Structures are given as C-alpha cells and as structure tokens.
Amino acid sequence: MSPAPVKLRADQPDAPLTGLALLRSPFPANQISKLPKPYKKDSPKGKCAECGGYHGLPAVHLDYVGHAALTDRLLDADPTWTWEPVADPASLGLPTAAGGMWIKLTVAGVSRYGFGHPDGKQGGDAVKEVIGDALRNAAMRFGAALDLWHKGDLHAIEAEDEVAEQKAASKAPAPNTTKGAEAPKPPTLAERANRLEAALKAQTTADALRKAYGLASGLCADLDLKDPERLAEIERLYETRFAELSEPAPKEDFGISDDEIPF
C-alpha cells in the first residue's frame, strides 16, 4: 500500500507539512474506520449493512483513528518522538485517579501531558489500555484527529468573535474618517485566553468541556508560541475540570481490539 499523500502548506504550496503542523493535519479517509455503538447494551446482534460487522442493532457508527494510524502519524511528524511516565503528577498540579497514569509526550521538541486509564481492564490488557489511552489523550493536545472529536468548525470560538464584532460594527455609528481616527482593535491574546478560561469554568458536563476546549485549538496554538505559561495554566484547568465532571460509566464490549480504540 502506498503512503497517504501529505497535505501541503497553504502559504507555500510546494512545501509539505512537517512536525506539529503535520500532526494536526486531518487523517486521510483510508485511515478512518467506523466504531459501531449499539443504542442499547442488550440490543439483538445481527450483520450490519453499513459496516459488515456482527454487533448489536440498531447502532450508530462513530469515526475513529486506530492506534496504528496514530503511531504512523507520530513517526511522520517526528521519527524521534518519545513519551515518558510522570513520576509525581501531584507536584505539577495534575489530578490523579486510581490505576491511571499521566505521561509526557514529546513531538518535535514540544511536550504535552496526557492521562490514561485502564477503564475496567485487568492484567496485561490494563497496561496496554493505560498506555494507549494516555498516548491518544496527549496526541489530542497536539490537535491529532480533532476533526473526529468535533464535526463542527474547530475555530468556532474565533469565528463567533468575528461575527459578534461584525454585528456590533453594523449597529455602530459611521466611523469617523477624519485624520487621527482609530479602527476598532481585535481582542488581544490575553483577552482570548481569559474568555477560554471562563468558558471552561462554566461547563457543566465533561462532554461540553471537551468540545469547548477542542474549539479553542487555534487559540491554544497561538498561546503555545507566544505564552506557553498561560497555556500550561489553561491545560491544568482543563484537566482539573475534566476530572471533576467525569463519572465512571459501565464498560461496554463491542469486540474492538486494543489497537483500534477510537479517539
């Protein structure tokens, strides 16, 4: 099988994406699979006309990227990528849970944290689940497969700001065109970060929190370049809020192997 084509940069059409930019690039269709999720745990099983599998019906099919495809993307972005367990997460202000593990994933010289949990598995399966879950969680912090987490516009927060500014401008008096008049200023990076912080604090469910954080990927990329300390504060807030809002759910076995756990 020939390798998937590499997306080119918009500003330099002849230059392929590399490093962290490549990691954020959408996955090609041939690397995206379907995870069947029956509407009920005791749904009668049958052959599915959509995916061809044998599982509970009816079911919704979720797009996901498997462990192998993620590892392939990490290697393409940085052949020397590494991860290491966090020995003392509490010293970094990271929340902990029994059986879970925090890791530090480093890609192209940039490190981000991720958390993995065995989710009810035991023995060797639990070890593999913890590592795989932590890698997927940390890779998401780099923007990997965010388009599968959320089907909408990943930069909707910024888009909403622009729409609000346009509406305000349409209702405002005609601008003063005389010499010395100043045009309205866009929100600063600090103001955008404060808005995101307030949004994360206002969410009431883990799913809403995850979506709100995913929508701000463009802002997080700007903070990573210009104010990494502020980004670290927001990441810690997200992890703390996610731990507070998350509740253990009963485990459902859909017959998916460890290397096919979805994002």
Q: What is the mean pLDDT of residues 107-125?
A: 91
Higher pLDDT, 84 or 160: 84
Question: Does residue 91 surpass a pLDDT of 70?
Answer: yes
Residues 6+ apart with CB under 8 A from 194: none
In a domain, 45, yes or no: yes
In a domain, 52, yes or no: yes
What is the percent of the chain where pLDDT is above 70? 74
Alpha carbon distance 96, 90 (integer Å): 7
State residue 216's pLDDT score. Answer: 79
Burial code (b: 16+ CB inside 10 Å, e: under 16) for 13-37 equals eeeebeebebbbbebeeebbbbbbe
Domain count, the chain: 1
pLDDT band at 182 (very low <50, low <70, confident <90, very high): low
Residues 6+ apart with CB under 8 A from 237: 197, 200, 201
Question: Does residue 141 surpass a pLDDT of 60?
Answer: yes
In a domain, 173, yes or no: no
In a domain, 172, yes or no: no
What is the tens place of the pLDDT at every residue in 19-68? Answer: 888 888 888 888 887 878 887 878 888 888 888 888 888 888 888 777 78
In a domain, 57, yes or no: yes
Q: What is the mean pLDDT of residues 205-212?
A: 79
Question: Does residue 180 surpass a pLDDT of 80?
Answer: no
In a domain, 53, yes or no: yes
Domain assignment of residue 49, given as a range = 28-64
CA-to-CA separations, 100 to 82, 90, 242, in angstroms, rounded? 19, 13, 14
**Mean pLDDT in the chain?**
78
In a domain, 205, yes or no: no
Query: What residue type is 111 in one-letter code?
Result: S
In a domain, 138, yes or no: no
Residues 6+ apart with CB under 8 A from 59: 36, 37, 38, 39, 43, 48
Query: What residue type is 252 in one-letter code?
Result: E
Among 81-95, 106-120, 222-236, 237-251, the minimum mean pLDDT is found in 237-251
pLDDT band at 135 (very low <50, low <70, confident <90, very high): very high
State residue 9's pLDDT score. Answer: 44
